[in-house]
A = this chain, B = another copy of it.
Amino acid sequence: MLTACDTDFLAKLSGLLPPDALAAPEPRYLEEPRGRLTGQGGAVALPRNVEEVSVILRACHAAHVPVIPYGGGTGLVGGQVGLGNALPLILSLERMQAIRQVYPTENVLVAEAGAILADVQRAAEMAGRLFPLSLASEGSARIGGLLACNAGGVNVLRYGNARDLTLGLEVVLADGRIWHGLKRLRKDNTGYDLRHLMIGSEGTLGVITAASLRLSPRPAVQGAALMVVDGPKAALSLLALAQARLGDGISAFELISGTGLAFLAETMTQVRQPFAVPPDWMVLIDLGLPAGADASDALERVFADALEQGLVRDGVIAANLAQRKAFWSLRESIPEANRHIGAIASHDISLPLSEIAPFIAKAGQALARIKACRINCFGHLGDGNLHYNVFPATGHSRAAYDGERAQITTCVHDLVHQMGGSVSAEHGIGRIKAADLVTYGDPVKLAMMRAIKTALDPHGILNPGAVLMHDEMQGE
């Protein structure tokens, strides 16, 4: 049983902390970006260092007070909003935003959990290095939350997810103990890899307070192209062709649908359309190549080979970095256009690459049987990760689909599951998808997760209700 973060508890806690370490929670701590959930919190704790985090968690553990670890608040699955019966303490890492150290010769940077991603990117750039994690919310998302949720983004194809960019962690456990794991090593086989257990556990197993992050050399030569393809199958053949020639020179491979282009044309006329007749499908290919390479030439050769094989119909290669930026700007405007149109339901899914094209065909047919709708299917095709978003048919309102929303999502997720995919590729489980995890997750894996949760957080104070549903934790 959890206990509310009430005035008695807060009075005791404030005695253990500096004067300004606790505050009444402003509304921003209780909202999530899509406005689907509203959280609660008895107070927000604002520690300045790992020792204060430890003091806070030790007190919450002793009193069985729930804790919502809070980063930038940008998560899309409600992992950052407390909803349980017992009023939680919100633990924000925002005051711990130091870049503790940059080691350019090691390609390592050590940042505190509250550091904003864009600041980490800039610190790496100042040292002549690249921190490749990049996503829409990089101006406000914080490192701790990004690692807790194993964030993805646009550079996963080449550089991996957030977990692949993490060498070491400093973590405070539920009972306040501090794991000093900020190693800067590429290889370390000394015991279980608890770094990867913490990353992606969404604040339910421990609170990340700092991380040593892996930097990369900045690509010597960059380039990009937009290529028109017949469909997702041709796009994936194009990817294979490009990778056979250029290997990891392909740093991103993004799918853009005709629906997305139409939404842009309708709602964001300032975004320049690359083709006179918007194609049904196109891809954005981004390159990072060694010194001496010629990106345009490399893309032209890929295009020529692909044309010969009937994989592409048209294409435009960025003549310079400004044009490359414009291509990315088009890609990155699609989520905003989606918001202008207003989705009935959005899905962050992944599939084995060879199931992508069959999935898109089958899902379209299955949804059509429910109700006429528009589908904007786009995203990180090279990773098998699609943002499969469903919109009202032209001229219809979102409200007209209120009765079908749940059915639509179930239809999409069932099909993804049947085809060996994941119902959360990069956004995580949080609270919004906790029931999906029960429905689609392997039951033995879920049982292991519950056993580990109980072992590391026996009172269940850390982000209760996220990842593992409340009723799943009962009796433990």
User: Chain A residues in contact with chain B, CB under 8 A?
Assistant: 103, 105-108, 149-150, 152, 156-157, 160-161, 163-164, 173, 177-181, 183-197, 199-201, 205, 216-217, 219-220, 236-237, 240, 243-249, 288-293, 297-298, 301, 350-354, 380, 383-385, 420-429, 433, 436-437, 440-442, 444-449, 451-452, 454-456, 467
Name the distance in Å between A237's Cβ and chain B's nearest Cβ: 8
Name the distance in Å between A236's Cβ and chain B's nearest Cβ: 7
Whether A177 and B447, one on each chain, are in contact in the complex, defined by CB atoms closer than 8 angstroms, is yes
Q: Given the interface contacts A292-B298, A293-B293, A444-B177, does A200 sit within 8 Å of B193 by beta carbon?
A: yes
Number of copies: 2
Once bound together, how far apart are the Cα atoms of A245 and B180, in whole Å?
35
CB-defined contacts of A219 to chain B, threshold 8 Å: 247
Say which residue of B197, B247, B298 sits within 8 Å of A216 (CB atoms): B247
Name the distance in Å between A352's Cβ and chain B's nearest Cβ: 4
CB-defined contacts of A183 to chain B, threshold 8 Å: 420, 422
Name the distance in Å between A133's Cβ and chain B's nearest Cβ: 13
Residue of B nearest to A221 (CB): B247
Whether A190 and B244, one on each chain, are in contact in the complex, defined by CB atoms closer than 8 angstroms, is no
Residue of B nearest to A151 (CB): B189
Once bound together, how far apart are the Cα atoms of A329 and B324, in whole Å?
44
Whether B444 and A354, one on each chain, are in contact in the complex, defined by CB atoms closer than 8 angstroms, is no
CB-defined contacts of A293 to chain B, threshold 8 Å: 290, 292-293
What are the 10 A-B residue pairs with the smallest beta carbon separation, nearest first?
A196-B196, A455-B455, A188-B422, A451-B455, A187-B425, A184-B352, A245-B291, A179-B444, A106-B353, A246-B290
Whether A192 and B449, one on each chain, are in contact in the complex, defined by CB atoms closer than 8 angstroms, is yes
Name the distance in Å between A398's Cβ and chain B's nearest Cβ: 26
Whether B187 and A385, one on each chain, are in contact in the complex, defined by CB atoms closer than 8 angstroms, is yes
Once bound together, how far apart are the Cα atoms of A157 and B193, in whole Å?
19
Whether B426 and A380, one on each chain, are in contact in the complex, defined by CB atoms closer than 8 angstroms, is no
Instruction: Report which residue of A240, A247, A353 has the largest number of chain B beta carbons within 10 angstroms of its beta carbon.
Output: A247
Whether B437 and A190, one on each chain, are in contact in the complex, defined by CB atoms closer than 8 angstroms, is yes
Name the distance in Å between A170's Cβ and chain B's nearest Cβ: 10
Say which residue of B189, B245, B449 sits within 8 Å of A220 (CB atoms): B245
Whether A236 and B192, one on each chain, are in contact in the complex, defined by CB atoms closer than 8 angstroms, is no
Whether B448 and A189, one on each chain, are in contact in the complex, defined by CB atoms closer than 8 angstroms, is no
Whether B449 and A185, one on each chain, are in contact in the complex, defined by CB atoms closer than 8 angstroms, is no
Once bound together, how far apart are the Cα atoms of A187 and B423, in whole Å?
10
CB-defined contacts of A444 to chain B, threshold 8 Å: 173, 177-180
Name the distance in Å between A196's Cβ and chain B's nearest Cβ: 3
Whether B192 and A220, one on each chain, are in contact in the complex, defined by CB atoms closer than 8 angstroms, is no
Residue of B nearest to A421 (CB): B185
Name the distance in Å between A469's Cβ and chain B's nearest Cβ: 12
Q: Given the interface contacts A205-B192, A352-B106, does A184 sit within 8 Å of B420 by beta carbon?
A: yes
Once bound together, how far apart are the Cα atoms of A354 and B102, in whole Å?
12
Q: Given the interface contacts A184-B352, A196-B196, A246-B290, does A191 sit within 8 Å of B445 by beta carbon?
A: yes
CB-defined contacts of A191 to chain B, threshold 8 Å: 200, 429, 437, 441, 445-446, 449, 467
